[in-house]
Amino acid sequence: MDKLPKGWCSKQISNIAFIRGGKRIPKGYNLQEEKTEFPYIRVTDFNDNGSIDLHNLKFITKEIKDQISKYTISSNDVYISIAGTIGKTGIIPKELDGSNLTENAAKLVFKNNDQINKWFILYFTQTTDFKDQAGLATRVVAMPKLALSRLSDIQIPFPPVSEQNSIVNKLVILFDRIDKSIVLVEENIKHTKALMASVLEDVFGGGNIPLANLCIINPKKSEIKDFDNDTEVSFLPMTDLKVHQMHFEIKQVKKLNEVNTGYTYFRENDVLIAKVTPCFENGKAGIACNLMNSIGFGSTEYHVIRTKGNVLPEWIYYSVMTAKLREEGVNNMTGSSGLKRVPAKFIETWKIKQPSIEVQKKIIQVIQNMDGKLKATISLQQSKLTYLKALKSSLLDRAFKGEL
């Protein structure tokens, strides 16, 4: 730890607080969806901003509450997640006073409340210093776990309570301004994305010609039955297909005999669209370009759409990127939960517009220009978002060096 300002000292967490873990509910017991008097707080209820999501809480019965009654948490207690997503911290709100805490989290019970501002401690848990120390104290078991004994050894730069209060007051004011700016930037990003979605729907939605009339859906591998088995072809795993980006980079090359069985076949200028959840909903799709020997293979979770000549590949791409297609596609998915897929029949019967090729070219040019400008705007806003979040981190580090 760096040299501390005059009047400060370094203290282990164990010197200022008792660390108490939560309690696992009895084996075989299912948490209650229906609200009771006894909330059970899980790590999944912890928000990144230090609050707790009160809308999706689970509950326990009085019988279970009595069995784990020693492991309650009080309003204004500082908590920290110690398993799963390690390091989520916050202060328990009054609505959850007396609730029970998961075994994957711990609470800090302060030994001398008069000399400790709990918000000062909470802010320290958000610093890179704390995270570095917590990272060093992490060991790997069935899931990442931060041992309570190691958590207790973390060192906190500790000024007098009057200075703690001053630091907290400054951070509250500064963070309020930054958080308001973050909300505005996030809203700008959301609105920019919504604008593009609206344009796509207006231009490409409301068609009357089924895709199967204009395209071949999932062309057969028999087209390349005469190719030599050693022919090199491009290979595209799902991870390389982009979200809301027409073009993608082909990073892998394989021999035809390595991929001819068990993978999806496509060719130059075919449109690929993910059919499995959540890739479909996220907008994974693109146009295959620059393929090795004009042939590609990839994930079995693609639908392949090939123009018959009266529509451009770019026109098909934008036509299947509308929000309406994704909404209705989700409603038509088949399969078990978690492995649902959009059936080929849905793609075949989806209706699109078909203006002349010349009109398609003009519209595509306009859409691509707009798309480029909107993506540049989003990139700029995301840079601002990164800066604002980094500013919070910088202010925290300065605060605990006495430089604020």
Q: How do residues 41-59 score in pLDDT, each as one tens digit?
A: 998 999 888 889 888 899 9
Spatial separation of the C-alpha atoms in residues 128 and 390, rounded to whole Å: 11
Half-sphere exposure of 290 (CA within 13 A, CB side): 6
Q: Assess whether pLDDT exceeds 80 at residue 360.
A: yes
Per-residue pLDDT band at 259 (split at 50, 70, 90): very high
Q: Are 326 and 281 in contact (CB under 8 A)?
A: yes
What is the arithmetic mean of pLDDT over 233-238? 97
Asked if residue 106 lies in contact with residue 22, where contact means CB atoms within 8 angstroms, the answer is: yes
Interval 157-184 mean pLDDT:
95
C-beta separation of 124 from 95 below 8 A: no
Residues near 345 by Cβ (< 8 Å), separated by ≥ 6?
A: none
Q: Give the model's confidence band at 136: pLDDT under 50 very low, under 70 low, under 90 confident, else very high.
A: very low
Q: Give the span between the Cα atoms of 68 and 58, in whole angstroms.
A: 16
pLDDT at 317 over 90: yes
Which of 18, 147, 35, 116 minimizes the C-alpha distance to 73? Answer: 18
Residue 250: the pLDDT is: 93
> Quick one: average pLDDT of 252-276?
96
Residue 1: what pLDDT? 59
Split at pLDDT 50, 70, 90, the class of 142 is very low
pLDDT class of 2 with cuts at 50, 70, 90: low
- 252 and 237 Cβ atoms separated by less than 8 Å: yes
* Averaged pLDDT, 346-361: 97
Residue 140: pLDDT over 60: no
Least confident of 91-100, 250-259, 274-283, 353-362: 91-100
Taking CA atoms, 4 is separated from 122, 127, 400, in Å, by 19, 16, 9
- Please, what is the average pLDDT of the chain? 91
* E strands in 17-104: 17-21, 39-41, 58-59, 72-73, 78-81, 89-91, 99-101
Which residues in 134-270 belong to E strands, given as ranges? 138-140, 144-146, 155-158, 209-210, 215-217, 232-236, 252-255, 264-267
